[in-house]
Structure 1
Amino acid sequence: MDQGNTAFILLAAALVLLMTPGLAFFYGGLVKAKSVISMMMLSFGAMGLIGVLWAIYGYAIAFPTLTEGVIQFPWSIDTSEIFLSSLLETPEGAAYPPLAFVAFQATFAIITVALVSGAIADRAKFGAWMVFAAVWATIVYFPVASWVFNFTLGDDGSFASGGWITYGMQTWFGVGAIDFAGGTAVHINAGAAALALALVLGKRVGFQKGITVPHNPPFVLLGAGLLWFGWFGFNAGSELAADNTAAIAFVNTIIAPAAALLGWLIVEKIKDGKPTSVGAASGAVAGLVAITPACASLRPEWAILLGLIAGAVCAVAIELKFKWGFDDSLDVVGIHLVGGLIGTLFLGFFANSTGLIYSGNLTQLMVQAIAAFSVLIYSFVLAYAIGWVIQKTMGFRVKNEDEIAGIDTIVHGEEGYVLADIRS
Structure 2
Amino acid sequence: MRSSAGRDLSGLRERIAGLLTHGDPESLDIAAALTGFLLDADDAQLLVAIYLAPQTPPTLRHRILGSFNALQFYTPAILPLTCTLIEGRFDDEAQFVAAYLADFGDMDARNAVIDWLSSQDLGTGSSSRRHYLDVLARDSAGKAAVIEFLRRSRENGHLVIDAGQLLLLAEAGDTWAQDELVRASYRYSGFDRGNAVTAIDFLREEEPQEAYFAARRLLVRHDLAVAADLMLEIDPERAGRELVERYGSAAPSLRLELERRLRVHLGGARLADLAAPLATSSRARDRTTAARLAAVIPPGVPLAWLGTLAGDISPNVQEAARDALRRRGLEASAMEHRALIRTSPKPLQWARLLTIFELVDPFFLWSRDDPSNLGDVLEALPFEFLDEAGQVRGQQLKQRGDAARKADKGH
**Structure of greater Rg:** 2
- The TM-score with structure 2 as length reference comes to 0.22
- The TM-score with structure 1 as length reference comes to 0.22
